[in-house]
Amino acid sequence: MTSALFFNAETSAFSVFYGGIFMFFSLAIILLFGLLLGGICKKLRLPSLIGMLAVGIIIGPYALNLIDTSILEISAQLRKIALIIILARAGLSLNVSELKKVGRPAIMMCFVPACFEIIGMILLAPKLLGISVVDAAVMGTVVGAVSPAVIVPKMLNLVENGYGKDKSIPQLILAGASVDDVFVIVLFSAFLGLSQTGDMSAVSFVKIPISIVLGITVGIFVGIVLGKFFAKAHIRDTVKIIILMCVSFLLVAFEDTYGGIVPFSSLIAVMCIGISLQKVRKEATERLSQRYNKLWVVAEILLFVLVGASVNIDYALKAGVAAIILIFLVLLFRMFGVFICMLKTNINLKERLFCMIAYLPKATVQAAIGGIPLSMGLNCGETVLTVAVLSIIITAPLGALLIDLTYKKLLTKNTLQKQIK
């Protein structure tokens, strides 16, 4: 009896020990190969996230199966943390004064192209993929966001080289893209709730603007309080980042627990904390933004590799053709939305075409929220994830390539400081 107990304890310790080893082995594989293939893609002038996605697909459970199950089990939580980092960075780096300076087109770019793409998805996805209208709305919000991960470095390069500077075109795209993500994520949360409950009543739609307003209010208040606290308490920036992350986690936990009772968007609150911190402690937010950029190096690899690992290759191949056709069709809706934003401005047709091209790439948000419906057990989960990943694989390299090929032909290079009217 004693020997049997000893043997069982020893076996259990053995399995835990080697299970732990496999987890660390999996993390090493994820990070090392994510960096390697991401670097190779950069050398080929492709977004590094394409390489990271490829790593996830290859080492995931539907291919080589080299990722420990303990990591896969918390994949949704890790992606949520990456999403929090994305929004915190957006809030700390969003230049509200630049948004006001560029004017009406920038404000419209924050939501009009995404709305057009979501409408296109609602109209087309039920026919092409056989899903419900509500599920199509969820899918539309997943693919409706533009990718700052692709756009930001491209637009900063244009600013440095003086292209489109006379009409603030890079600033217009940067300003719109920074808010577009948050708008889409808030809509995603709302439609996800509708998909779960099936409740299409007027009350459920009234909750959407309430959750947005409450999220903004709470975010601004928390940001002001933290700003005053940081001004009085002389603590290291690393500690400030830990405090910000903890506050963000608490807000997300509050929404997860009480969201059914109190309409509240924790994600928009996370971004608004950064925006209000800028007003109170401008010099501190610049340093904190740089710290978040360093956090993003690891978070980005984990995010895209784990999303790639979630893709069921067999299912993706079956839905492939219809999904690809759908992605290209809704992109036309998106481009038309961008064109609408440019009406009654001094931006000419060539420059409008460039703005339409620059708003094509998708990546970060699709990776962060694309797997959520599947992790929640929704019927549309597999389809939403497949379309999300295909949209990244298609639009990220295509958009990056088209921006590089067209900016010299479509934009003027000069230093005149005309403003959009």
Neighbours of 242 (CB within 10 A): 12
Q: What is the pLDDT of residue 331?
A: 96
Tokens 């993390």 sit on residue: 27
CATH architecture of structural domain 75-410:
Up-down Bundle (1.20)
- pLDDT band at 20, cuts 50/70/90? low
Q: At what angle do helices 237-258 and 282-310 cross, to 10 degrees?
A: 60
Question: Using one digit for the tens of pLDDT, what is the confidence trace for 182-214?
Answer: 788 878 877 887 777 665 556 666 777 888 789
What is the C-alpha separation between 237 and 230, in angstroms, rounded? 9
Question: Using one digit for the tens of pLDDT, what is the confidence trace for 87-125?
Answer: 888 788 776 776 677 778 888 998 999 999 999 999 999
What is the C-alpha separation between 84 and 404, in angstroms, rounded? 30
What's the angle, vertex CA 380, arms to CA 211 and CA 301, rounded to 5? 75
What is the C-alpha separation between 60 and 69, in angstroms, rounded? 10
Token pair in block for residue 195: 């998909």
- pLDDT band at 19, cuts 50/70/90? low
Domain positions in the chain: 75-410
- Distance, CA of 269 to chain centre: 16
Can you tell me whether residue 27 is helix, strand or coil? helix
pLDDT above 80: residue 149: no
Can you tell me whether residue 38 is helix, strand or coil? helix
Can you tell me whether residue 162 is helix, strand or coil? coil
57 contacts 308 by C-beta, under 8 angstroms = yes
114 contacts 328 by C-beta, under 8 angstroms = no
Q: What is the pLDDT of residue 204?
A: 63
What is the C-alpha separation between 331 and 335, in angstroms, rounded? 6
Q: Output the pTM of the full model.
A: 0.77
What is the C-alpha separation between 85 and 105, in angstroms, rounded? 27
Q: Which of 325, 287, 395 is nearest to 121 (CA)?
A: 325
Name the least confident of 163-167, 178-182, 270-274.
178-182
Question: Using one digit for the tens of pLDDT, what is the confidence trace for 255-311?
Answer: 888 877 888 888 889 988 998 998 888 778 888 988 888 888 888 899 889 888 888
376 contacts 362 by C-beta, under 8 angstroms = no
Among the residues of 162-281, which ranges form H helices?
Answer: 169-197, 202-232, 237-258, 266-280
What is the C-alpha separation between 339 and 305, in angstroms, rounded? 34
- For the residues of 340-357, what is the DSSP string, one character each? HHTTTSS--HHHHHHHHH
